[in-house]
Chain A
């Protein structure tokens, strides 16, 4: 394939081969594939072949974000409204071909999720980062180009100076989406101003928060957007090499990035003399082994260089002394995914979205006790209530909302009285949490805050690199205190100790991981003090989650001696002869709850 000229690129953009064809788009991100999208795809192909419909276009796309209904497929028949189907198994796929494509009658019922022109999103959402996810075939560069792909780099190279790009970014107000929210233009300008024979652009694709997968979905669904943004960054700061640091546990994202890099090189959109501009830019991929701490900039760089992934003190910041000691821009995937659109539509446009201090949109991975879990993209300033109740369908099973954990293990709990708080960097920080990378885990009335923060703390403690003593020792000590509280061995004097230890970790830990490890604990103590103290003082877990604080007992008056509970008990903790009252040996009981489930007479009490 020949390298593209600007004219050839423009021609490619105008081609619109699919407009008149019937198109089926099957969401085939990792999530869709895990839910069975490959089988559904095969069923579509088979059924179409059977019917002799060789002019129907069937396309593999990235994730559209509706995780709760995977596999998803969209059907566009010219002249008819587009329809988005969910839970598409093989039978549904065949049905779609028969009824919708051949019979021209779209399916109705639970599989038909949405229909109309703008079916990717609802009115509360706005797609900038995810604009191509679920829309284009990520393994086909032409698909990307037809959606204004590589327009922004062309514009930058031929119509803008480096300072123009920085100016546009400054106007846009884009802040880093990796966690800290540092202004992107400022970060770039530090590297631009640093003098060096060599500079680097690093894409941080080491996404690791529990429950967060927006970066994976973006890379799987729209890899070229990242490549284009890295090239723009390279042009702006004067770098000719980009490095994507991605965890090896993201094989599909890696594969699609590799394909994208290959295709971009063939088209001359990466490599020497891009579009005849004289600007050179290449991208290579480095793999991480999946250590959470390698999301921290300096640990990431160490790992990318082949060293053990341990942070080093900053300053010097990577913007001045980064990869191989050279000035380096490190941006996370989501930050980069906004860049091309900002340049195309202008910084002012981007800046008009969001709040005073937090501009643009933010992608969140909403999981937990939520009806419609999935990826959403909303303007900054959207309230929690809109996210949970309008976009994501409310709490699973109609239960009561308790809290939402944002920012993963570095964040905190947002209680119910803050549901109407607009989501932005400052508001979340004021509530003792952070936006972080965008994980949101919804808790309902059945969840115990002590149990939940214990989970997060355990995660951080396991993922600590072990270099600095406040994090290495303090984290484990804090976790053990929490564990004792959840087991009913907590003491009142533990509370000030935990607060002091948390303060020390925040102040003296070397990197962000250790500094934020205590955040969930502090936020629980702040927003859920009563529930916390119930564990410590009353040895009582109101949500009945902490196994050390609950017990299963048999109510003698209700027990008829059916023996079912004793049969189900995995540790033989229940004694009793047939037709006699049964008793649970509390010493042996592991609190698995099988007896409660087994009893048909409501004779097992759980308190």
Chain B
């Protein structure tokens, strides 16, 4: 433990604690702007400066660790004035058009300006005349609003290992931009949206598709249907003042019904369907030796995009099972349409996702049109969905709980935990155990694959055989896992792992790029806990027990991996170039 004084108060904190964190012990929340708890401190903004007695310099609280006997002064008129002055400088090069900004109300710069009571900026205004980049249809870059905090670049390079964003130029011309000054679509970007989730201002945000949805809802010739992803239900509440992790499935169902959707489905149903396909895929590879091991999950479109660009040597290892929302989309426009007697060309399917990459996934390959139409018409993020609720004037907290519509609305506990890292693995193991042993698990909980550790490994004994599994999330953790597999593959012999789950975002979908802003590991953990509570209280905890799924196979798909199942529920991968030009 290190003893120090902060504003004359004695404080004891563990070695390695930063002044910023130590100050909390002295009831001080030092203002920050570029700092983000997910990332190493970069010291770019200069807002969190403090003094240490005995030195006339100011140092950055975010980046300086405490030392024994240190005497820190976190505020005096000089410090506050320097911070204000830095803020004024930043505002002098910022458009300050808060009313039209996607971050209005959630902007960290706006908050600071409010807290410091900035009423005018004493310096000349200089704006950067730089165009928006909306080339991906998932994420929009608006470099004019960028304050060069560097979070997005660090996220893209260090956290996600993608290197699609970098700093170009120098001096005041420095700008965040796609690598090699390509547009984002032509860059290696995997559309995970973590840059947007970490941006403190309105410089990176989701491509807004709400107008398309409003138009569809207003079109009486269309049968608008909707599905809600698992991670949305435990995060949407944050937009309405709830604690992170509050499970609000019933209110979400009611909200979409209030918005005017005619069919209310749940992506968790799609998740159960994915598991039924994927578990049998695993069975085929592991028991019958048909296909490459390890089997790697493919529910995450950023991960598949990454694999196709950076690790195409794993194409054969990928599960060909589509992601849950795609499976549900095609079932809506085939099975549901047929059963309800609706012209599938008139079905308009909206998926509400924690994700920006899902906007890309809905057209990523021909198989996404398996119904004969685009299976998902529009994919919205949690944030867009929240704006629709608010702009419709729906009083979300006051809503009664509703129900999803049958046929594509029922879900098991296995389907709901898809939204947390390790959830797909756990769900798959529950059904794979049954597929291999024809017996049911006594304890369905695989806690070894839960939690926020970057790479989680476990060995599970099924029918006397060891199944080695690994779960990785946030992309920079993936390469070590892949390298282990490659090494063993080159050496020959038993595969290093048999089954791998990968999610591009930290914490899995609960920490997705389309989720409410401000996610920290604490918030991600709370959101995941909400999903595990949902699992625990479920009547059925395994995907193969979902009665609607059983009916679906009986009435339409025959059995997992059948010809029909392959036609509608599976996809293919190909190597893609990192740079298009």
Contacts and interface: CB of A to CB of B under 8 A. Distances in A.
A472 interface: yes
B564 interface: no
B19 to A, nearest CB: 11
B441 interface: no
A462 B43 CA distance: 21
A289 to B, nearest CB: 11
Interface in B64-106: 64-65, 78, 81-83, 85-86, 89-90, 92-93
Contact of A466 (B45, B82, B126, B174): B174
A271 to B, nearest CB: 34
B174 A315 contact: no
Contacts of B150: 467
Contacts of A312: 42-43, 63
B147 A468 contact: no
Contacts of B138: none
Interface residues of B, number: 39
Interface in B158-190: 166-167, 169-174
A313 B58 CA distance: 12
B43 A313 contact: yes
Contacts of A291: 170
Q: Which of A461, A463, A469, A474 has the most CB of B within 10 A?
A: A469
Interface string A124-138: 000000000000000
B46 A466 contact: no
A69 interface: no
B93 A473 contact: yes
B90 A469 contact: yes
A316 to B, nearest CB: 8
Given A477-B123, A507-B49, A510-B44, A469 B86 contact: yes
Interface string B110-132: 00000000000011101000000
A308 B172 contact: no
Contacts of B44: 467-469, 510
Contacts of A469: 44-46, 86, 89-90, 147-148
A473 B174 contact: no
Contacts of B63: 312-313
A476 B86 contact: no
Contact of B65 (A315, A472, A477): A315
Interface stretch (A164-172, A255-263, A495-503): A495-503
B41 interface: yes
A500 B81 CA distance: 9
Given A467-B150, A469-B147, A480 B89 contact: no
Given A313-B43, A476-B126, A470 B86 contact: yes
A311 to B, nearest CB: 8
A504 interface: yes
B171 A461 contact: yes
Interface in A301-337: 308, 310, 312-313, 315
Contacts of A480: 124
A468 B46 contact: yes
A465 interface: yes
B43 A510 contact: yes
A461 B126 CA distance: 15
B89 A473 contact: yes
Nearest to B60: A313
Nearest to A467: B44
A508 interface: yes
B353 to A, nearest CB: 34
A508 B49 contact: yes
Given A467-B148, A507-B82, A508-B86, A473 B45 contact: no
Contacts of B85: 500-501, 504, 508
Contacts of A507: 49, 57-58, 78, 82
A236 interface: no
A308 B46 CA distance: 20
Interface in A500-520: 500-501, 503-504, 507-510
Contacts of A475: 171-172
A479 to B, nearest CB: 10
Q: How large is the interface on A (under 10, 10 to 19, 20 to 34, 35 or more residues)?
A: 20 to 34
Contacts of A500: 81, 85
A473 B172 contact: yes
A470 B147 CA distance: 12
A308 B122 CA distance: 33
B172 A470 contact: no
Given A313-B63, A461-B171, A472 B148 contact: yes
Nearest to A476: B172
Contact of B172 (A315, A461, A497, A501): A461
Contacts of A468: 43-46
B199 to A, nearest CB: 16
Nearest to B172: A476
Given A472-B171, A477-B89, A508-B86, A466 B124 contact: no
A552 B37 CA distance: 61
Given A480-B124, A497-B122, A504-B82, A473 B60 contact: no
Interface in A393-419: none
A507 B82 CA distance: 8
A208 to B, nearest CB: 13
Nearest to B174: A466
B312 to A, nearest CB: 25
Contacts of A313: 41-43, 59-60, 63-64
A506 to B, nearest CB: 9
B170 A464 contact: yes
Nearest to B48: A508
A490 to B, nearest CB: 13
Q: Which of A462, A473, A501 has the most CB of B within 10 A?
A: A473
Given A472-B148, A501-B85, A466 B170 contact: yes
Contacts of A466: 148, 167, 169-174
A501 B81 CA distance: 10
B522 to A, nearest CB: 25
Interface in B450-484: none
A501 B123 CA distance: 10
Interface in A429-468: 461-468
A500 B89 CA distance: 12
Contacts of A473: 89-90, 92-93, 172
A472 B172 contact: yes
A90 B169 CA distance: 46
Contacts of B170: 291, 462-466
B579 to A, nearest CB: 19
Interface in A186-212: none
Nearest to A470: B46
A485 B58 CA distance: 30
A463 B42 CA distance: 19
Interface string B510-540: 0000000000000000000000000000000
B174 A467 contact: yes
Nearest to A460: B171
Q: Which of B42, B46, B166 has the most CB of A within 10 A?
A: B46
A509 B172 contact: no
18 contacts: A312-B42, A313-B59, A313-B60, A315-B64, A465-B171, A465-B174, A466-B167, A466-B173, A469-B46, A469-B89, A469-B90, A469-B148, A472-B148, A497-B122, A504-B82, A507-B49, A507-B57, A510-B60
Interface of B: 41-46, 49, 57-60, 63-65, 78, 81-83, 85-86, 89-90, 92-93, 122-124, 126, 147-148, 150, 166-167, 169-174
Closest CB pairs A-B (n = 7)? A466-B174, A313-B63, A508-B46, A313-B43, A504-B85, A473-B89, A507-B58
Given A312-B43, A467-B42, 17 more contacts: A308-B166, A315-B64, A461-B171, A465-B174, A466-B169, A469-B46, A472-B174, A473-B92, A473-B93, A474-B89, A477-B123, A504-B89, A508-B83, A509-B46, A510-B43, A510-B44, A510-B60
Interface of A: 291, 308, 310, 312-313, 315, 461-470, 472-477, 480, 497, 500-501, 503-504, 507-510
